[in-house]
Amino acid sequence: MEARYNLSHTLEIRDLLLADAVLTIAFTITLSGGIFGIAGGASKAVALMEELLPIAFIGVSLSFVLHEMMHKFVAQRFGAIAAFRTSPNGLAITLVTSLFGFLLGIPGATVIYTNSFTKRENGIVSLAGPLTNFAVFAVFAVALLVLNPPSQSYLGFALDFVMFISILLAFFNMLPIFPLDGSKVLAWNPKVYAAVMGTIFVLILLTRLIPVGDILFMVIIAAMLSLFYRRMF
């Protein structure tokens, strides 16, 4: 069956590394102001990207990669076959959008093959990713409180950035729009969905990491992606 679905570990590791690299570069370009920021001063932009790249790598590796791997491990726990796969179109969109100073990060997803999932199992598998983002957010929030670095320091920015990516991925994936995680969690248990989404909004309001305009933008983008999902992956 693994041959049929081409789920070799080597291929999965390659796809994970590729997605991690592309998303890291895309976040770095976006935070550098995109192509317009680079054009405004090449040397300054390069220096900024050198500072941002390590932070983006840590944030993406912990928030995105762990999110996808938790989907896989929980799905396998329920007897499914699962592996992460990149999307060529998604990789291209991720890079191209970053050049314009905003990011639509959709480099790939965990593909799950099963005919026996119940709504509960599907909901739990879907919830595993956002809950992983909560865990990453909590660890770095505690680090921020304990270390209490100056607000304008490199360390403070790094901790804030990892928290930002974590809560951003949790929010985007919990939108109740197919094929995002939120649509499956809501179909399984509306109370659990409300509790998780409510927690996300509380964290966003307390930390002010995501502007309201960005939230509305993500909702619109998610709705558009749901229409083209089968073409993307």
Which tokens belong to 60? 């993406």
- Answer whether 163's CB lies under 8 Å from 205's CB: no
Packing angle between helix 212-232 and helix 88-99, nearest 10 degrees? 150
Which tokens belong to 66? 């762990």
Cα Rg of the chain, angstroms? 18
ω before 179 within 30° of 0 (cis)? yes
Which of 161, 159, 157, 130 has its CA nearest to residue 66?
A: 130
Provide the strand spans (E) within 11-103.
Answer: 81-86
50 is catalytic: no
Among 12, 50, 68, 121, which one carries the catalytic annotation?
A: 68
Active site residues per annotation: 68
